[in-house]
Structure 1
Amino acid sequence: MPHQPVPPAKRSFARSLRRDMTEAEDRLWHELRDRRLDRIKFRRQVPVGKYIADFVCLEAGLIIEIDGSQHADSDSDRIRGVELKAMGFRVLRFWNEDVLRDLNAVCDTIIAYARDASLQPWR
């Protein structure tokens, strides 16, 4: 995945998202940061193409998205997923509630997907 320059406005927006994470994103970031989760390198609120991904593991080509109820049956999320997949990423989505209720299961799932490139997301 070649590096592409990020426009200043998008870089600034990503920074603001890093400052204003949701509670679920913040809790998950606490587990992902500094290679805490099984020594896997993650970055947060990263510009990827025309999107900003919640969390990215570039080595595994894995994007983690944490969604609220506004994302249920979202056509724009489906389109986003197709475009990110075309760029070589797998997009793993969790509901905010999943992260807040069962963080261990979410982390176990992320480890499995980061370690096994043949696994494909379910939604």
Structure 2
Amino acid sequence: MASDMFYGASSQLFENAKKLREAMTPAELLLWEELRTNKLKGFRFKAQHPISYFIADFYCHAAKLVVELDGSVHDSSDQQEYDANRTYILEEFGLTVIRFRNEEVIGNKENVLRKIAEFLSNIK
């Protein structure tokens, strides 16, 4: 499997990621404020980061961690199946995927940060 932090992402995906960074959701912006500039346990996160055929909401290469925020669009059975397949593929790269609902970030950001920090505490 690819060892670089983009896992063979195409140049078009980089363009799409840039557009997504410019139009982040309120929940993404709220979490990004806490993850940016190595604020969480000194780990560096990237927002809207290209990985293979996907764009991760947040990615920490040192921890091999993908953090995804899900809004109501993720409630449909088709989207849930897509998300499960996407997670499977990302896990095949040796990545861990943690998902949170937008409402959880907005309503209980501290709990979301605690769960991410717990994962990061186990990284050497």
TM-score by length of 2: 0.89
Residue of structure 2 aligned with 1:50, choices 49, 53, 64: 53
Q: Can you give the 5+ residue segments of structure 2 that lack an aligned partner in the other structure?
A: none
Aligned length: 117
The C-alpha deviation readout for 1:20-71, integer Å capped at 9, x for no partner, is: 0000000000000001112111111111111000001111111000000221
Q: Can you give the 5+ residue segments of structure 1 that lack an aligned partner in the other structure?
A: 118-123
Which of 32-41 and 80-89 deviates more?
Answer: 32-41
Confirm or deny that 1:36 pairs with 2:39: yes
Deviation at 1:80, TM superposition (A): 0.2
| Contact kept? 1:60, 1:115, Cα under 8 Å | no
Confirm or deny that 1:83 pairs with 2:84: no
Deviation at 1:96, TM superposition (A): 0.2
The C-alpha deviation readout for 1:64-83, integer Å capped at 9, x for no partner, is: 00000221251000000000
Query: Could you say what the CA RMSD is over the residues aligned between the two structures, in angstroms?
Result: 1.3
TM-score by length of 1: 0.89
Matches of 1:7 and 1:49, distance apart in 2: 7
Moved over 3 A (4+): none
User: Corresponding residue for 1:15?
Assistant: 18
